[in-house]
Amino acid sequence: MAERFSLTETTAAGGTRLAFAGELDAQAATALWPKLLGRDAKRPAGIDLSGVTRCDGAGAALIQSIQAAHPGLAVTGASPALSRVLARFAEAHRAPAARSAAPDPLPTRIGQAVIAGFSAAGEGIGFIGSVVVSTLAVLVGRGKLRLSECAAQAEAVGTRALPLILLLGFLIGLILAFQSAIPMRRFGAEVFVADLVSIALMRELGPLMSAVILAGRSGSAFAAEIGTMKVNQEIDALYVMGFDPVQFLVLPRIVGAMLAMPVLAVAMLASGIAGMTTVMTGFGFPVSAILRQVTRATTPEDLFGGLFKAMVFGLTVALIGCRRGMETGTGPKAVGESATATVVGSIVAIVLLDGMFAILFNLLGL
Amino acid sequence: MSTAPGADAERVIEADKVAVRFGARTIFQDVSFSVRRGEIFVVLGGSGCGKSTLLRLLVGLVPAAAGHATVLGVPIDSPDPAAQRKIRRNTGVMFQQGAMFGSFSLLQNVMLPLVEFTRLPHDAAEWIARTKLGLVGLADFAGFMPSEISGGMLKRAAIARAMALDPEILFLDEPSAGLDPITSAGLDALITSLSRDLGITFVVVTHELQSILAIGDRVIMLDREAKGMIAEGDPRKLRDEATHPTVRAFFRREELV
């Protein structure tokens, strides 16, 4: 590209005179900046702008940076129009304020993190408290639970997740049966694969996998929906209109998730047993024998324990998703952060709860 | 008011019978006008008349269903990347809500086009960005995040970002909407001073009568019922002499009977 500017340097008393000509724009500034403002640039004797035909913000930045680097430098030859432009930019420019003080020392930051952790835990307990209060209000008739919204949430959380649950359940049953058949065969105990898979699915995998899917599919959606409403001040609007945001937004989601989860767990169990049966028939067992083995191996306690766990997981995921949504900050990243935090937090909480259930059921002898 | 360029000034934007349709719904049609270099050109009209859509058309965000328009001599729908680059590099847009990137500070927002589209050294880009923020009166807020400043400041910051690359044309969508009269008047003064001192051409979409009379060199008025232009010319003349009932009602703040 042809250069639309030129710089003539003439040696005079006291140093070099810089005579600019042509168009001082981003192209000129890019080319001249390192030379005139680099580390080894010398103080010029003066700047002559009489040949400059046009100067934009970048050109003005160049001239003014040279002036700022060498206070008292004379600038001559600018046309009235150019002087006006330069004056406008010079008046506007403000050097950055001095940097703020050094970062806090490590102990201070550790202390701040601890305080932040405690206050976050306190806020979490506060949220659970407000959900309990709202639930009680509904139970004693002081509040209203929007049943149609609960049903809509149950549909979104449950019905629409069914194809995924059925597919995953079938595959998990299939894989479990295949994998456990290998060691079982060594003992001639292949028929007990049915016991293993059905107990595992009923007590553990059904509720657990359903909850993981709930966290990924619906927990994140709760956080994003409520978070977007928060960012758009819709939560504030609900509040000033006299609605309880918890009653209006959180309870239907909790009820929906708690209703849907046992159904999802049963669906996963059924499709898992179907997957296992597919493998077992391949080994030569008749379907009736497999199903008899399943009914003999499992008890109603196994089933109801699993369903109870599923409900608790549903409650947990919905609580975490809604709380993250309600706490969404401002800015475009906030909603995404809430959704991520929901999925991570939910999965950790589910696994922890599952461990606690294992201990509890063991103590109760279930 | 800035000194309006004469009728023989170079035309930087020309629109010839442009129309925009969303599906079967016609927003406007047969809209023709030209914008001269250095003037403040105002597109006005009531809510829903398509004035923001016209601006989105000119900046290439909405396709024209009919007609032809050029910006700086380049057809707005030109498929040539070099032609598109010429428009992008020489125009700036301020959106209604500012559209500042929320994860960057104001300074980073203004520096972004400088860093991405020029090879200026970092110091130079920062100097220029600080100057642009100073031009809109936000020199002391360079380190703030967009969520930490008010709506009026956001709009001014958006103007600073739109000016980062020293564009010839600035498009402003509703600069004074939702602002108090003092802030709004300050923004008007900013627009006229930038036009006067730096020779920037402005295309401003607004329905604020006081702004229109304060800054507009020339206006066109769109109307929802007519689905097109119903007036063109000097806003003060339109106020005093217009015969079209909607135009009269608009400028005199009357109800339309």
pLDDT tens figures, B228-241: 888 888 888 888 88
Flag whether pLDDT at B1 surpasses 50.
no
Domain final residue, candidates A101, A135, A163: A101
Amino acid B45: pLDDT: 82
Q: Which residues of chain B make contact with A29, given a CB cutoff of 8 A?
A: 120, 124
Helix (H) or strand (E) holding B29: strand B25-36
| A22 and A138 fall within a common domain | no
pLDDT band at B6 (very low <50, low <70, confident <90, very high): low
B82 touches chain A (CB under 8 A): no
Alpha carbons B49 and B226: distance in angstroms, whole number: 9
Contact A57 B140 (CB under 8 A): no
Q: Counting beta carbons within 10 angstroms of the beta carbon of residue B90, is it exposed (0 to 12), middle (13 to 18) or buried (19 or more)?
A: middle
Amino acid A67: pLDDT: 85
Contact A57 B131 (CB under 8 A): yes
Contact A68, B130 (CB under 8 A): no
Contact B131 A96 (CB under 8 A): no
B256 touches chain A (CB under 8 A): no
In degrees and rounded to multiples of 5, residue A317 shows phi and psi of -65, -40
Structure tokens at B22: 């969303």
Domain that includes residue A117, residue range: 103-143
The residue among B220, B140, B195 whose CA lies nearest residue B3 is B195
Flag whether pLDDT at A255 surpasses 90.
yes
- Three state DSSP letters for A323-338: HHHHCCCCCHHHHHHH
Chosen for mutation from B100, B131, B196 (greatest number of chain A CBs closer than 10 Å) is B131
Give mean pLDDT, residues B179-183.
Answer: 82
Flag whether pLDDT at B213 surpasses 60.
yes
**Of the candidates A61, A84, A85, which has its C-beta nearest B124's C-beta?**
A61
| A164 and A88 fall within a common domain | no
Per residue in B105-132, pLDDT (tens digit) is 899 999 988 888 888 888 888 889 998 8
Give mean pLDDT, residues A179-186.
Answer: 91
Contact A5, A23 (CB under 8 A): yes
| A75 and A21 fall within a common domain | yes
Amino acid A351: pLDDT: 95
Write the CB contacts of B59 (distance below 8 Å, at least 6 apart in sequence).
Answer: B91, B93, B171
Give mean pLDDT, residues B167-196.
Answer: 85
| A112 and A130 fall within a common domain | yes
| A39 and A154 fall within a common domain | no
SS3 of residue A359 by DSSP: helix
Question: Across chain A, what does the average pLDDT equal?
Answer: 89
* Helices (H) then strands (E): counts for chain A: 15, 4
Contact A89 B135 (CB under 8 A): yes
- CATH number of the domain encompassing residue A44: 3.30.750.24
Structure tokens at A222: 């709760």
Contact B120 A33 (CB under 8 A): yes
Give mean pLDDT, residues A218-240.
Answer: 88
Q: How far is the alpha carbon of A222 from chain B, nearest alpha carbon, in Å?
A: 23
Alpha carbons A311 and A345: distance in angstroms, whole number: 17
| A137 and A286 fall within a common domain | no
Amino acid A99: pLDDT: 61
Q: How many CB pairs below 8 A link A and B? A: 85
Q: How far is the alpha carbon of A254 from chain B, nearest alpha carbon, in Å?
A: 32
Contact A57 B163 (CB under 8 A): yes
Chosen for mutation from A39, A67, A89, A91 (greatest number of chain B CBs closer than 10 Å) is A89
Q: How far is the alpha carbon of A50 from chain B, nearest alpha carbon, in Å?
A: 19
User: Measured between alpha carbons, how far is residue B135 from residues A4, A59, A193, B157 in Å?
Assistant: 26, 15, 77, 10
Amino acid A17: pLDDT: 84
Per residue in A70-106, pLDDT (tens digit) is 888 888 888 888 888 888 888 888 777 666 667 888 9
Q: Which stretch of A96-100, B92-96, B220-224 has the lowest confidence by average pLDDT?
A: A96-100
Q: Which of residues 205-244 of B touch A (CB under 8 A)?
A: none
Our count of domains for chain A comes to 3
User: Measured between alpha carbons, how far is residue A209 from residues A194, A212, A266, A356, B26 in Å?
Assistant: 19, 5, 11, 17, 51
Give mean pLDDT, residues B234-256.
Answer: 81
**Of the candidates A56, A58, A333, which has its C-beta nearest B124's C-beta?**
A58
What residue type is assigned to position A252 of the chain?
A: P
| A183 and A291 fall within a common domain | yes
Chosen for mutation from B104, B128, B197 (greatest number of chain A CBs closer than 10 Å) is B128
B21 touches chain A (CB under 8 A): no
- Choose between B53 and A312: higher pLDDT: A312
DSSP string, A260-291: HHHHHHHHHHHHHHHHHHHHHHHTT--HHHHH
Contact A26 B118 (CB under 8 A): yes
| A294 and A249 fall within a common domain | yes
- Choose between A350 and B95: higher pLDDT: A350
Alpha carbons B33 and B15: distance in angstroms, whole number: 5
| A72 and A204 fall within a common domain | no
Q: Which residues of chain A make contact with B160, given a CB cutoff of 8 A?
A: none
| A21 and A126 fall within a common domain | no
Flag whether pLDDT at B50 surpasses 80.
yes
What residue of A is the nearest CA neighbor of B194? A88
| A352 and A267 fall within a common domain | yes
Burial A239-256 (b: 16+ CB within 10 A, else e): eeeeebbbbbbbbbbbbb
Amino acid A90: pLDDT: 84
Flag whether pLDDT at A146 surpasses 90.
no
Contact A333 B198 (CB under 8 A): no
| A189 and A116 fall within a common domain | no
Q: How far is the alpha carbon of A233 from chain B, nearest alpha carbon, in Å?
A: 14
B120 touches chain A (CB under 8 A): yes
Per residue in A274-300, pLDDT (tens digit) is 999 999 999 999 999 999 999 999 999
- Choose between A198 and B239: higher pLDDT: A198
pLDDT band at A269 (very low <50, low <70, confident <90, very high): very high
Contact A33 B123 (CB under 8 A): yes
Contact A61 B139 (CB under 8 A): no
Contact A30 B127 (CB under 8 A): no
**Of the candidates B134, B147, B197, which has its C-beta nearest A94's C-beta?**
B134
End-to-end, the C-alpha distance of chain A in Å comes to 82
Domain final residue, candidates A143, A175, A203: A143
Q: How far is the alpha carbon of B167 from chain A, nearest alpha carbon, in Å?
A: 9
User: Measured between alpha carbons, how far is residue A309 from residues A88, A107, A153, A215, A255 in Å?
Assistant: 70, 42, 20, 15, 15
